[in-house]
Structure 1
């Protein structure tokens, strides 16, 4: 169940279905434009919608957005990435107020740094641009952009209001979670500020597995306890109506403790028997940003300018403990293995943007241009020790490792870019061309310290210098008041990652080594999109098709042969994979009051995504591309109360990579789920929201959460979604 107090009434939109295509977005063109006027497929989820849907994490956030999938792993590490049209990981740019969130990195069973660093309670809006977006956002926007926009004091003040206070608290039944928060805003003619704090805690998210106990046969979720905290603070100084200075301080941290019961018992690979496996995971992100916005300029170069300086620090620490019994020469050795994984990033950056509008005859121009400069230091380390419980002997030798080790050297990366975009309007804006171009320069400078060198005495690391040019051409044609065509071409790229360029790892026990590759090329994508939109009083609709070709995908640690001197198998990251993904997407809604006044308050919303992906090198299907998915919801809203019933639908996941001869992979069956929401404003400034998910308590496998696993596996129920669960929310604002 969920109960929540939330500061939303000031920024909440009127109840009922929003006029989606009228919403203003910035991410798609770096200028303020209604969705109906951008040449991309764009999704917007505002604060009011997040609260109405009782959104607690990124999986909740994109629950009703077909074509956008949140990945998750069973056992310990949970939610891990956001996939857009089948592409995820570090190939999608995720940013908060324009600043990229830290990278993901994983190696082995005990280390997995994800990108789930943002507390959604601090946001006022989320914008998603689907498809290659490197012409505006550079490296890592290969598959698209997810843009988190945090709250501002102005979202709560205005119309004579100089102060606002709201509180939030609640519970969720799927993970027995509790959450609480508060938002305070104040302001006058020139100064304003905002502070938002939140706390969350809970347990593992349940599934519909029935096998408990310990060992590899367990299908129930492993026991977990999590806790998280966040703070967002902003101070704004507006010396005039055309200027604004803003200082932002943001911090977020999460802790998760896991009793990994599925790893207890005999381990076939090592012959050891685990009697205890525990995980303690901590991650945190903090940033400080100082920015300045100025408009109303009388300059030939710009009408408005904004810039911001920032520093961002992230830290992931994951501690693991294994207590084992190991047979050895007729005796049993009892030992305790302690591992610690660290992944830290520190970034400094400057972003500056300018906009200028002018006319040349009957043609309108809206030019946006700017620069992005960022320097990031990345450190990764694995440490550990082995304690022999019978003798008390302690050693840092835990073969194949002699701790501490780094799997790549400390890496400094510098990104510098210039971009320009012109929105060219013809026929009073009825036809618009949107060309854009960005030039990125990427530098990688590794630093070999004692830890890396002792573990990799002969590895020759390399620096990297690469320049990439990313063009884009978009088109929007309003051929009537309500109808328009949109589409265009966009190129994406991703610079070779530091860990692939300079990986260093040797395992003499199992006879292999991983070596650097300074000759890696950037991954690239070329995307085409064509769509049709309708926006009128009766409703809205958007139908688009896309085709994207990806080249030079980097396959990490690929086997390339044997070393003739040492006999070790050699692994190296290489550009080997080419892929293509194509699909069709739809989103639309109807407002029934336009058909009959008696139907005022009734609305219908729906969305669907169909896609196909192939590895062009092998001809096999891409397992990361979801089957057909769709949502359909009907809502009724009055000023004081309302309700919404939403169905979630998915087809069978029958396009998977080829399985080994004589075997088959599990194809998650199609499913249909129903969710029910209701809200009630029972007093001024106070609102209750209720959500019941999976109303029929059906057992389903969500394709995005199921790994490629054998169809005969006895533990398929591990990957099932939760059964019926409830959320209740209460919000109070003053």
Structure 2
């Protein structure tokens, strides 16, 4: 839906464990060395110092503004000052933009009881970000892993992780509509960022407003409307055309947009058509190494295979089409019909799997992944203005989504010399039917203002999984067909039907705002196993039905002048997926995947508190969060009493806490600076009474600093971005888990509108060509835990951060 808002958080914490931090092929640092450089006090002090510095700078501007208020008013009355107008225009950058995801109503980011981020279209365009993997590079506490393993050689985004938890626990939506779930041998990388007005990130559980799957947070991709392209109310046609190139993966991106005003108010009709094409190859791992190193003891690949410091050759082609028709029969009443189609094809020569064994010689493995997402939605946004009803928003959506994978493997069998062809096919799809209706009412109860947001949010999802493997002996002319292989699970239908209520209560002349909320979630998943599904006695697939009541409470208090404090409590709830409940595969004598239809829903209780300051030339925010998860679902857990059976099971608990900070300040009409930071720690416990261990998902201190120079008169915009990442010193098992070292990188972003409507863009990333490993590689298997298969097909070197690369682009607007 359109009118929604966000929830934030932050936190900092405690214990120091002894571990060993190793950078493959590079330096090794003991925890004692690192702790001397990054003590807990220093970490907390860094975030606080940055926040207080920006507060002081902003506060100084606030004091100057207050002391010269009369002079400013006089200047304004006498006709204004050109410099003041210029400064006001520049300062607009620092003001907190409006979010529509956190509270299901339009609110400033600084007016929500939580930590919410918004990446704007201007930022996306300047950075020339077109994929989910690129999108969150400047968002501390949020990471997107890369999938480059043998099971997934397509270099897809591995899932968006917020505050240490990700995968299906992060709800990813496009204009409020759901996207496909991730499964073991597949991807959720099914969104293109080229047509986005904004990307809004809600940190922390959001189940009260957005339902199940918002356990760790929400990412809402908001697409552009025709009105976003019109420069004036008199424009009848507008649009843009752009092209860009990236040296990282030889990517060419072209986009063309046309916006049309077919009729004017009071019966206005507008239309939009956008087409984007992207062609690319595999990313270049400039700083990866192929020789033996401490983190990569061997690279025992066959001479016929791709070296360990390279990715298999890839050809990637994607298309994204967005169409909209917007009809406004009256002021404050809008109907919108949206059609969207996204497809991406990735072809891979998986030469990393080439090898010579005692029984065969593998000479080639051609693989293909086809990702496809359709969306058709009809929605209305109506400012009703009735006594009991302010607004009415509703949306209906149909969205079939699928990820298909095929492979063609060639082998020469030994000692016979027969030629063998193995064809594999995996088809996974989810088809969504969604209905959402939301009401907004303002009422006064006992003289107290109440703003109510309430409604119904429901959907029906059809999930289908199909796996077929065909083996052709091309010499003997024989064929064998096997079905239901891989991580097979029963097809299923899922029904969600939720009702929710939120109240924003204003007290003491709007200085105190209380925001309580409730949601009752109903969830039913019905399995439909086909004839190929392998039923395990005692674990037969059966219908699972649950309901749950979630509560949240937030508050914001204006304590003095520009300063405010907030606190919030939120609960989250997430049902198991069809794969977690019904996965079944008999691969004995090696292993067997046993379904667990008795899995319990995951839940979380989250606590947050923060301090903020909003000034005429800047802002700052500093907050703490703690999230306590129970019944956390873990995959591939050994079944008690069996040496071969694996299943999904509920962990006892996972606890994550940390601190977050952000700020911005305008030094002059041309110069501004901004920063954001996050630091987390976490523990996990497998069962009651079991020892607590470190949770690898909790990322250590990460700071992003930006220094920006703008010259509006010449259309110039330049920004230097510095990223500082602290080394990981706490992993679950220091003997077998990789702990990446700290690093610093520098990026330079620039755009120049050298003539009206024509903008040249350039960006240089990792300017010093720093070799590093992203923080989310913590826990990657190394040492004794790195089996031969891992060393061959999923070496740590392929997770290395990207070296220096550049992007250039040209955009025309009219």
**So what's the TM-score if we normalise by structure 2?**
0.82
Deviations 1:672-708 (A, max 9, x none): 0000111111111111111011111121111225661
Distance 1:217 1:180, change over 3 A: closer
Q: State the match for 1:258 in structure 2.
A: 348
1:40-59 map, 5 Å: 40-59=114-133
Which sits farther off after the overlay, 48-57 or 371-380?
48-57
Distance 1:20 1:131, change over 3 A: farther
Q: State the match for 1:310 in structure 2.
A: 397
Q: State the match for 1:206 in structure 2.
A: 284
1:231-250 map, 5 Å: 231-250=321-340
Q: Tell me the distance in 2 between the aligned counterparts of 1:457 and 1:362.
A: 63
Match of 1:501, SS state, is: helix
1:84-99 map, 5 Å: 84-99=162-177
Q: State the match for 1:654 in structure 2.
A: 729
Aligned 8 A contact 2:306 2:312 in 1: no
Is 1:609 the equivalent of 2:678?
yes
Distance 1:353 1:395, change over 3 A: same
Is 1:666 the equivalent of 2:746?
no
Distance 1:430 1:403, change over 3 A: closer
Q: State the match for 1:224 in structure 2.
A: 314
Deviations 1:599-619 (A, max 9, x none): x31011111111001113341
Q: State the match for 1:363 in structure 2.
A: 448
Which sits farther off after the overlay, 716-725 or 66-75?
716-725
1:399-438 map, 5 Å: 402=483, 407-438=488-519
Q: Tell me the distance in 1 between the aligned counterparts of 2:618 and 2:471.
A: 65
Q: State the match for 1:163 in structure 2.
A: 237
Distance 1:321 1:15, change over 3 A: farther
Q: CA deviation at 1:58?
A: 1.7
Q: Tell me the distance in 2 between the aligned counterparts of 1:63 and 1:394.
A: 48
Aligned 8 A contact 1:630 1:648 in 2: yes
**Aligned to 2:649, which of 548, 561, 574?**
574
Match of 1:121, SS state, is: coil
Unmatched segments (≥5 aa) in structure 2 = 1-86, 291-300
Q: Tell me the distance in 1 between the aligned counterparts of 2:635 and 2:740.
A: 27
1:44-443 map, 5 Å: 44-75=118-149, 76-78=153-155, 79-106=157-184, 111-112=185-186, 114-157=187-230, 158-187=232-261, 188-189=263-264, 190-207=268-285, 208-211=287-290, 214-215=304-305, 218-266=308-356, 272-300=360-388, 302-327=389-414, 331=416, 333-397=418-482, 402=483, 407-443=488-524
Aligned 8 A contact 1:251 1:285 in 2: yes
Q: Tell me the distance in 2 between the aligned counterparts of 1:710 and 1:656.
A: 12
Distance 1:18 1:507, change over 3 A: farther
Distance 1:14 1:103, change over 3 A: farther
Q: State the match for 1:721 in structure 2.
A: 801
Q: CA deviation at 1:625?
A: 2.1
Aligned 8 A contact 1:437 1:471 in 2: yes
Aligned 8 A contact 1:362 1:426 in 2: no
Distance 1:48 1:57, change over 3 A: same
Q: CA deviation at 1:627?
A: 2.0
Distance 1:230 1:65, change over 3 A: same
Q: Tell me the distance in 2 between the aligned counterparts of 1:14 and 1:284.
A: 44
Q: State the match for 1:445 in structure 2.
A: 526
Aligned 8 A contact 1:484 1:533 in 2: yes
Q: State the match for 2:597 in structure 1.
A: 518
Aligned 8 A contact 1:642 1:679 in 2: yes
Higher relative contact order (CA 8 A, sep 6+): 2
Q: Tell me the distance in 1 between the aligned counterparts of 2:163 and 2:661.
A: 13
Q: CA deviation at 1:209?
A: 2.4
How many pairs align? Answer: 693
Distance 1:611 1:356, change over 3 A: same
Distance 1:668 1:226, change over 3 A: same
Aligned 8 A contact 1:363 1:427 in 2: no
Aligned 8 A contact 2:501 2:519 in 1: yes
Q: Higher helix share goes to which structure?
A: 2
Aligned 8 A contact 1:15 1:638 in 2: no
Q: State the match for 1:559 in structure 2.
A: 638
Aligned 8 A contact 1:245 1:290 in 2: yes
Q: CA deviation at 1:508?
A: 2.8
Q: Tell me the distance in 2 between the aligned counterparts of 1:347 and 1:14.
A: 45
Q: Tell me the distance in 2 between the aligned counterparts of 1:272 and 1:436.
A: 62
Q: Tell me the distance in 1 between the aligned counterparts of 2:503 and 2:94.
A: 25
Q: CA deviation at 1:394?
A: 1.2
Q: Tell me the distance in 1 between the aligned counterparts of 2:640 and 2:624.
A: 42
Distance 1:704 1:166, change over 3 A: same
Q: Tell me the distance in 1 between the aligned counterparts of 2:680 and 2:759.
A: 39
Is 1:38 the equivalent of 2:103?
no
Q: Tell me the distance in 2 between the aligned counterparts of 1:657 and 1:528.
A: 24
Match of 2:639, SS state, is: strand
Match of 1:116, SS state, is: coil
Aligned 8 A contact 2:461 2:495 in 1: yes
Q: CA deviation at 1:589?
A: 1.2
Match of 1:452, SS state, is: coil
Q: Tell me the distance in 1 between the aligned counterparts of 2:313 and 2:387.
A: 62
Q: CA deviation at 1:193?
A: 0.9
Unmatched segments (≥5 aa) in structure 1 = 1-12, 594-599
Q: CA deviation at 1:17?
A: 7.7
Q: State the match for 1:508 in structure 2.
A: 588
**Aligned to 1:679, which of 747, 751, 758?**
751
CA-based RMSD: 2.2
Q: State the match for 1:692 in structure 2.
A: 764
Q: State the match for 1:619 in structure 2.
A: 692
Aligned 8 A contact 2:731 2:778 in 1: no
Q: Tell me the distance in 1 between the aligned counterparts of 2:595 and 2:767.
A: 52
Q: Tell me the distance in 2 between the aligned counterparts of 1:641 and 1:218.
A: 42
Match of 2:517, SS state, is: strand
Aligned 8 A contact 2:95 2:618 in 1: no
Deviations 1:499-525 (A, max 9, x none): 222222112342x43333332211000
Q: CA deviation at 1:654?
A: 2.1
Which sits farther off after the overlay, 405-414 or 97-106?
405-414
Deviations 1:150-192 (A, max 9, x none): 1111212343222102101111110000010111111132111
Aligned 8 A contact 1:706 1:719 in 2: no
Is 1:482 the equivalent of 2:558?
no
Q: State the match for 1:8 in structure 2.
A: none
Q: Tell me the distance in 1 between the aligned counterparts of 2:750 and 2:198.
A: 22
Deviations 1:13-41 (A, max 9, x none): 99968645521111110011111110010
**So what's the TM-score if we normalise by structure 1?**
0.90
Q: Tell me the distance in 2 between the aligned counterparts of 1:732 and 1:74.
A: 36
Aligned 8 A contact 2:246 2:808 in 1: yes
Aligned 8 A contact 1:561 1:569 in 2: no
